[in-house]
Amino acid sequence: MDFTALAQRICNGKGQITKAESLAVLNSRTEWWGIYGAALMVKNHFYQNKLQLNVLMNAKSGLCAEDCGYCAQSKISSADIETYGLLPTDIIYKKALLAYKRNATTFCIATSGSRLSE
Instruction: Tell me which residues touch ligand SF4 (CB under 6 A).
Output: 64, 66, 68, 71, 73-74, 112-114
For residue 58, the minimal CB distance to ligand SF4 (Å) is 10
Q: Which is nearer to ligand SF4, 44 or 83 (CB)?
A: 83
**Of 10 and 60, which CB lies nearer to ligand SF4 in the complex structure?**
60
Asked whether the beta carbons of 81 and 73 are under 8 A apart, the reply is yes
Nearest CB to ligand SF4, comparing residues 8 and 74: 74
Determine contact, residues 59/73, Cβ cutoff 8 Å: no
- Report the alpha-carbon distance of residue 113 to residue 59 in Å, rounded: 11
CA distance 80 to 82: 7
DSSP state of 76: T
Q: Min. distance of Cβ 30 from ligand SF4 in angstroms? A: 30
